[in-house]
Amino acid sequence: MIDRYLTVAREGVHESEIKRSRFLCALAPADSEEAAREFVRRIRRAHPAATHNCFAYVIGPDGRLHRASDDGEPGGTAGTPMLQVLLGREVRDTAAVVTRYYGGVQLGAGGLARAYGGAVSAALDLIGTVERRLLALVTVTADHQRAGRLENDLRAAGRTVREVSYGAEVTFHLGVPETEVPAFRSWLADTTSGAAGCAVEGSAYVDVRPDAG
Radius of gyration of the chain (CA): 22
**CATH number attached to the domain at 4-127:** 3.30.230.30
pLDDT, the chain, mean: 94
pLDDT per position as a tens digit, 26-71:
999 999 999 999 999 999 999 999 999 999 999 999 999 999 999 9
Burial (Cβ within 10 Å: 0-12, 13-18, ≥19) of residue 144 = exposed
Is a pLDDT exceeding 90 seen at residue 109? yes
| Whole-number pLDDT of residue 23 | 98
pLDDT per position as a tens digit, 123-177:
999 999 999 999 999 999 999 999 999 999 999 988 888 899 999 999 999 999 9
| Whole-number pLDDT of residue 209 | 59
Residues ≥6 apart with Cβ < 8 Å to 54: 68, 69, 70, 71, 73, 78, 79, 82, 97, 98, 100, 116
Rounded distance between C-alpha atoms, residue 76 and residue 74, angstroms: 6
| Whole-number pLDDT of residue 92 | 97
* Residues 68-81, mean pLDDT to the nearest whole number: 97
Q: Which CATH number fits domain 131-208: 3.30.160.150, 3.30.70.240, 3.40.190.10, 3.30.70.260?
A: 3.30.70.240
Give the closest residue to 100 by CA, choosing from 56, 51, 55: 51
**Taking the domains of the chain in order of start, what are their residue ranges?**
4-127, 131-208
* Residues 69-95, mean pLDDT to the nearest whole number: 97
| Whole-number pLDDT of residue 213 | 38
